[in-house]
Amino acid sequence: MSSVSYLPNHHLPPAYLGSKGMNAFITASLLAVATALSYFFFAIMHNPTSNIALIYILAVFLTARYTTGYLYGLFASLFGVVCVNFLFTYPFFQLDFTLTGYPITFVAMFTISSVTSALTSNMKVQAKLLSEHDKMLMDAEKEKMRANLLRAISHDLRTPLTSIIGSGAVYLENSSRLTDLEKTDLVSHILEDSNWLLNMVENLLSVTRINNETAKVNKSLEPVEEVLSEAVIRLRKRLPDLAVRVRVPDDVLMVPMDAVLIEQVLINLIENAIVHSQSTEPVECYVEDEDTKVAFHVRDYGIGIPPEKLVTIFDGSSYSWTASASADGRKGMGIGLSICKTIINAHGGSIGAVNQTVGAEFYFTLPKEEPNIGA
């Protein structure tokens, strides 16, 4: 059985006492302002009781809005009723609810004030619950992303490491019996797997640029043409025979983004198109200027993507485009596409994949402007 202990005020946490004092200060300030305004209207108007009652109802509404709990709003309601009767209703400076019409007026005022206080307080509670719910959803999404990344890492990194170790061991143990061609072949495999591991490390490092608390990135205005060009140049260093056709709008497009991360997304998508399409046709990479966003497209003219994998292709579980593809970790897609989705979501954009008549197309969008928070 759990027990609850009640502590005197001097044992309460400072945050609680500070919040309690602030609520009392807000309530007292609003009621003081309402009373001052009521005296002003009382001095310049004839029979302003109804207007004064509205002033106190407004004070009650603001009190309920900017304090926590029901107590302060209900106190403001009672205070307003008493002030209207005691200060601004004849006979002055006397509490008298027996005059004709006043009991109904004051009961109605107190009821309206109390209901307003209760509704406003309830709305704040609901807003807090919604905020906590959104935070829980965000945390759940982060956990899902971590799980997908770990699953993808275990697949995409383990096999190349095993291949490198195996090739190195074969070379060292059988060096005297291997031909020059066989030695070259082993070293080529080691180099290819090492480059793939380097690409995976770059992907993982790119995630560290995303703020862990807000899942956002630091953006600056970048020219789309230069970002796309830099991505192709970086990829060509690893794939010298890269065949890609690039097309951008004639006008210079400046889009808020983290250029390094978007380059990584483009590299992942273009490389996936080359590795998995099983086509000798060049990959197309082009940009479209839309009203509120810019769309990037990467299209190949290969075998396409199995329809059942389109739904899960970005969650880290799709390791190859075809069921017959090799289980070689160098051809895994999980970690690359999962990170692409994480990066684009952090930019406030969207990402997807579709099959065309011939081949497949990946696309993602970036908003042209930052959302105006609080507008």
Convert the pLDDT of each residue in 337-374 to its tens digit: 888 888 898 899 999 999 999 999 999 999 987 654 44
pLDDT tier, 257 (very low <50, low <70, confident <90, very high otherwise)? very high
Handedness of CA 140, 141, 142, 148 (dihedral sign): positive
Give the residue carrying structure tokens 């291949």.
163
Q: CA 373 to CA 375: how far, in whole Å?
A: 6
Instruction: Select the highest-mean-pLDDT range: 45-49, 76-80, 113-117, 349-353.
Output: 349-353
pLDDT tens-digit readout, 211-230 = 665 667 888 999 999 999 99
Peptide bond into 160 cis (omega under 30): no
pLDDT tens-digit readout, 19-58 = 778 888 888 898 899 888 888 877 777 766 667 878 888 8
Instruction: Select the highest-mean-pLDDT range: 3-7, 240-244, 311-315.
Output: 240-244
CB-CB contact of 338 with 148 (8 Å) = yes
Q: Where do the domains of the chain lie, and which CATH numbers do they carry?
A: 9-134 (no CATH), 209-367 (3.30.565.10)
**pLDDT exceeds 90 at position 296:** yes
- The residue length of the chain stands at 375
pLDDT tier, 6 (very low <50, low <70, confident <90, very high otherwise)? very low
